[in-house]
Amino acid sequence: MKKGLILMIAILLLWQILFLSGVFSPLIFPSPLEVAKSLLGDLKTGELPLSILFSLAIITGSFIPALILAFLLAWLAFRFRGFDPWAEKLSALVHPLPGIALLPLLILWTGLGIHIIVLIVIHSVLWPFYINIRSGFQQVPKVWLDVAENNRLTEGERFFSVLIPASFPQIFAGLKIGWSRAWRAVISAEMIFGTIGSGGGLGWFIYNKRIFMDTPGMYGGVLILMFIGLAVENLLFQSVERRIAHVYSQS
């Protein structure tokens, strides 16, 4: 944490020095002070908080269905061995498709609306998450499954008490990858698919700043992106990771 802080201060100092040197036009490279000012302004008008909320709401709204779908797919593949190669092939085919490439097709099929962004985020989370869960399930020791069977555990008990805990490290890795994919997908989808009057998330916020040549605002938007990414990584994932490491080192 301390190192990160020092690094940040150093970057800010360099930034200010570079700005004062006047090598770049302020339209390309505004001063940190100006960026901070425009950030504060956008916070006050409510434009920025609304955009952040919009993006986070989209992510939450698409993350949960994507998780459920991925678990379902992985469980079906695990439970019914014949289904596994099919699911595997499907993910190999679809996973490399960038969500943005699907945007025009999705509009043609389902019409316009915020659901387009949700679908793109689901697509970008579902496959990496499924791949991780699948490999997690495959690595569950056979003995554990046999024990579960001998003790006549129900399907649900087997799933929640054996499969999930045994493959938690992979599932957790999938969550982390899924989050970063979702974050990227939501920002890029918002940048392309914008509603002009009624808010459209952080991606649209940045794009709008670009259109109106508000360079400090653009820098501000990118800084907020970094900040949120960092906050989720630090607050959410690292604390969970510490706890898991603790549990798994005991076993």
Partner 1 sequence: MKTKCVLLIMMSLILFAGCNKEKGSAGKIRIAEQYGLAYAPLQILIEKGFLEETAGEVEVEWVRLGNTAAIREAVLAGDLDIGFMGIPPFLIARDKGMEWKIATGLSRCPLGLVVPAGQYSSLSDIPGDAKIALPQPGSIQHILLSMALERETGNPAALDKNLIAMKHPDGMNALLSGAVSGHFTSPPYLFMEEEEGYDVLVSGDEAMGGPFTFIAGVATERFYNNEPDLYKAFLSALDKAILFIRENRSETVSILAEKYHMDEKTVEDYLYNRGMVYDRDVRGLDRFIHFMSETGYLKQAIEKGSVSF
| Binding footprint of partner 1 on the chain (CB under 8 A) | 3, 6-7, 10-11, 14, 18, 21, 23-28, 104, 107-108, 111-112, 193-198, 208, 210-215
Minimum CB distance to partner 1, residue 187 (Å): 16
Closer residue to partner 1 in complex, CB, 96/197: 197
Closer residue to partner 1 in complex, CB, 47/88: 47
Q: What one-character DSSP code corresponds to residue 198?
A: S
Closer residue to partner 1 in complex, CB, 126/218: 218
Minimum CB distance to partner 1, residue 89 (Å): 31
Closer residue to partner 1 in complex, CB, 47/214: 214
CB 221 within 8 A of CB 206: yes
Minimum CB distance to partner 1, residue 56 (Å): 22
SS3 for 155? helix
Minimum CB distance to partner 1, residue 113 (Å): 9
- Show the CA angle centred on residue 155, arms to residues 154 and 161, nearest 5°: 80
Closer residue to partner 1 in complex, CB, 29/172: 29
CB 190 within 8 A of CB 204: yes
Give Dmax (Cα) for the chain. Answer: 75
Question: CA-CA distance, 37 to 31, in Å (whole number)?
Answer: 10
Minimum CB distance to partner 1, residue 212 (Å): 6
Q: What is the CA radius of gyration of the chain?
A: 22
46: left (phi over 0), alpha (psi -120 to 50) or beta: left
